[in-house]
Amino acid sequence: MTAAPAATLTAPPLPWLVLPIVIGSRYDFTPGVVSGIFGGALLWLGLAIEGVLRADFMKVHGFPLAGMILVGGICGAINAGSRKRLLQISTRLDHYQDRLRKLDVDLLFLREAKAELERLLATKDAELATLDGEIRRHFESQGDELFQDILLLLDRQVRVSDAAVYTLASPVELRRRAALGRSDALPDRLGTEDVEMVMLALQLRKPVSTPDFWQRAGGSPKDYLLAVPLLGSRDPPFGVLRVTGMPFLSLTKRTVHLVVIICRWASRVVEIRAQPESVSRVVPGADGQRIFPRAFFEENLRLSFESYRRHNLPLWTLWRALPKVPAGKIFHAPAAGYAGWIGAVAARQRRAPFLLTEHDIYTTERIAEISQAEWIHEADRLHISFSGGLGRLKRAWINLFTFLGQVAYDTAARIVTLYEGNAATQVEFGADERRITVISNGIEPGRFDAVLESHQRRWQTEPARKFVGFIGRVVPIKEVTTRLRAARRVIEKCPEAEFLIAGPYQEDPIYYDECRRIVEMLGIENRVHFLGMQKVLEILPKMDVIVLTSISEGLPLVVIEGFAAGKPCVATDVGACRELLFGRTSEDRALGRAGRLTKILSPAETAAALVDILSDPGRMRRMRLAGRRRAEQFYSMSSMLGAYRDLYAVLPREHQARLDEVHLRRATAGDEVRMTKDE
C-alpha cells in the first residue's frame, strides 16, 4: 500500500499577490489589507475545491498569507500618502496660482499708479511753471501794491477768499497793508497779543494753521485759519499774512507749503528793497528767476571768497602740520574727516598701520549739519529759487567731507564701529566690510551698585510711586514732545506715574518753550518735571524706567548706564537701541529683553510700552536683571579696553606681514625684468 502524495499549492502564489497589490495601489491601507485577507480566503477555497486542503494549512501557508496582507497594507499606505502629498502639492499650486493672479493685478495697479504719478508730476510741473509766470509778472510791484498782488496770487492759487497782510508798526502792534474779501474781520490795526495764532506764528517764525493751533495751544481759533510770518533772511519777522476765509478742506500741507513759498518770495523782495541804495533787477537763471540787490553785490563776492577760503584752509593747515606729528607704531583716529585724513596720511608716510574708530558716521553728520548751516555763505540766499536743493558751496563742503571719509576708509587697516547698523552705513560710504570690527562703548557697572541699592530701598519705602525718566538734551532730535504726549496717556492709566526730564535746555530755548507749552496744554504740569542739568549717579536712583524717543541715535550711553543701574528702557528703533534692548549676538540675546522698542513719533505706542512695564512688577524685574547682566558682560569698560588691546597687539604684525608680501612681489617682479633683459 503506497502513501498518499503530500498536498501542494497547485495555484502559483504570484496571482494571489497581484490582487492586494492592485487593490492597495488603487485605494488606501484598509482596502489593501482586506484584499490580502480576501486573497488568502480565495487560496484556501481553491485548495478545498481541489481536495488537497490539509489540516496544517495555516502552518504551511501562513507566511504567504501574512505576506499578501502586509503587501496590500503597504501598497495602500503608500498610495494614501502619495495621494495626500499630491493633494498638498495641488493645493499649494492653486495657492501660488492665486498669488500669481493677485500679483498680476497688483502689477497692473502699480502701472496705473505709475501713470497717475507721472500725470500728477506733470501737473505739478505745470502748476509751478504757472506760479513762476505769476510771480514774474509781479516783480515790478511797489509798496502796498506788492502785498495786494500777493493776496490776488493766493486767491488764484489756493482759493483764499478773506485775507490780509499786516506789517509790524511797533513790537506790539500790526498795521494792515492790504486786504482781500471782508474787511470787518480784518481791522486796520491789530495787537500782536490780541490774536493768539498770529502771536504764535511770530514767536515760532513758522506758519501756524488751525490744526497746528489745536495741537500747540489747545482751544479753538475764532475766525482765522492760517497765519504765516513774513521772514527776511536773518532778521526777525516784519509782518504776517492772516487768512480768515478759505475752504477748510483746502487747508492741506500742500496748500500751506505753497502759501509759505509765495510769502517767502514777497519777504525777500521787501527785504531787498528796504536796503539803501539798492535796486532790484530780474536776472534769468537755470533754476528760475533771481533777484539781485545791487548794493549787496560786492558784499556777496567778498563773503563767497571767504567761504571758499575757509573750505580749503583747514587742509593746508593740516598739511603744514604733518611734519610735527610724532612717530608711532600705530596711528589711531577717533573719527573720519580731518582727524582721519591726517592720521591716514601720517600712517602712509611712516609705513605704520592706521586704525579708525567711528562712534557715529562722520560723513552723514556733516551732511546733515552743512545742509542746515548758516555759517556757509551762499549767493542763493539773495535769490528766489523754486528748484530746491543745495547751493554750490554747500555741495563743495559735502564733497570735501565725503572725500576725507573715503581716504580714511581706504587707508585704515581696521575700522572700529559701535554697532552693526553703523557698519552697514560705513559700507555704503565705501568702507571695506572685511576690515570693520564692532567694539561697543563700555562703562564700569560697579559704579552703579549704589544706585541699584538705593533704587531697591526706594521701592520698599515708596512702592506706589513710579517715575519715568529721560536724561539728555532738550532739543528737537531727541523728540521730547513725543515723550510728553505719551506721558498724558500713561498718567490716564497709571495715575501714580511721574515724568522726570533731566538735561540742558539752553541749546534750543524755543523748543524748550514749546515743550513747556505742550505740558500746560495737556494739563500735566504736576506730573512732568524739567530738572535741568543733573549728575547721572544722583538722578538715576529716582527713576524706574528710562524712556528715549529720539529721531536719531548712535549707541546711547545713557541706556547702558540705566542697565547698570537696573532700569528697563523704552526706546525708539533707531541706532543701536535694538541691539541694546534685545541683544546683538545669540549669547547676548539669551539674556532676555531689557526693554521695549517703539516706532519714531508714536506717542500711543510709547505709552503702551511704558504702561506694560510699569503695571507688571515681574516683567520689570526680569528686564532689570537682563539689562544689568548685559551691561556687565557686553558693555563693560574692561571688555572694551581688552578688545582695543588685542587690536593694538595684532595690527603691527599684520601690517609687517603685508609689507613683507609687497617687498617679495616687487623683488620677484624685478628678477623677472632682469631675466627678460638678459635674454
Say if residue 255 is in the same domain as residue 320: no
181 and 228 together in one domain: yes
Instruction: Give residue 7's pLDDT.
Output: 42
Query: Which has the minimum average pLDDT: 69-83, 283-297, 348-362, 461-475?
Result: 283-297
Q: How far apart are CA 153 and CA 262, in angstroms?
A: 8
What is the CATH classification number for the domain harbouring 265?
3.30.450.40
Residue 485 lies in a domain: yes
Same domain, 455 and 591: yes
How many Cβ atoms from other residues are within 10 Å of residue 141's Cβ? Answer: 15
Specify whether 258 is located in the same domain as 196: yes
Task: Judge whether residue 316 has pLDDT over 80.
Answer: yes
Which cell numbers hold the place of 510? 524755543
Asked if 383 and 243 sit in the same domain, the reply is: no
- At 117-139, the pLDDT tens digits run 666 666 655 555 555 555 555 55
| pLDDT band, residue 59 (cuts 50/70/90) | low
Residue where a domain terminates, one of 403, 438, 473: 438
Domain with 88, as residue range(s), is: 13-109
Instruction: Note whether residue 497 is domain-resident.
Output: yes
Average pLDDT for 646-665:
86
What's the rounded Cα separation, in Å, for the pair 646 and 357?
A: 15
Does a structural domain hold residue 671? no
On whether both 303 and 222 belong to a single domain, the answer is no
Helical residues (DSSP H) of 296-443, grouped into ranges: 297-321, 338-349, 362-371, 392-411, 420-428
Q: Judge if 474 and 570 occupy the same domain.
A: yes
71-125 pLDDT, tens per residue? 777 777 777 777 777 778 878 887 777 777 777 766 766 676 666 666 666 665 5
* Count of domains observed in the chain: 4
428/450 same-domain check: no
Whether residue 428 is contained in a domain is answered as yes
Supply the CATH number for residue 521's domain.
Answer: 3.40.50.2000
Contacts of 153 (CB under 8 A, 6+ apart): 134, 135, 138, 262
Residue 285 lies in a domain: no
pLDDT exceeds cutoff 80 at 399: yes
Q: Does 13 score more than 60 pLDDT? A: no
Strand pairing partners for 677? none
Asked whether residue 36 falls in the same domain as residue 99, the answer is: yes
Residues listed for the chain: 679
Last residue of a domain, one of 438, 459, 489: 438
Relative orientation angle of helices 13-26 and 57-137, to the nearest 10 degrees = 30
Q: Is residue 650 part of a domain?
A: no
**Residue among 540, 526, 523 at smallest CA distance from 498:** 526
Going by pLDDT thresholds of 50, 70 and 90, the confidence category of residue 287 is very low
Beta strands in 255-400 (DSSP E): 280-285, 288-293, 331-333, 354-358
Band (pLDDT 50/70/90 cuts) for residue 388 is very low
Split at pLDDT 50, 70, 90, the class of 221 is very low
Question: In the block, which residue shows the cell 492592485?
Answer: 22
The answer to whether position 58 is within a domain reads yes
Q: Which SS3 state, helix, strand or coil, does residue 617 take?
A: helix
Residue that the C-alpha cell 502586509 belongs to: 70
Based on the fold, state whether residues 425 and 525 are members of the same structural domain.
Answer: no
- CA dist 579 and 592 (Å) reads 12
Pick 144 or 349 by higher pLDDT.
349
Please indicate, yes or no, if residue 222 is contained in any of the structural domains: yes
**Percent of the chain at pLDDT exceeding 90:** 20
The two beta strands, 189-191 and 173-180, are antiparallel
310 and 396 belong to one structural domain:
yes
Q: Based on the domain organization, do 450 and 596 belong to the same domain?
A: yes
List the single range of 159-168, 478-487, 573-582 with lowest mean pLDDT: 159-168
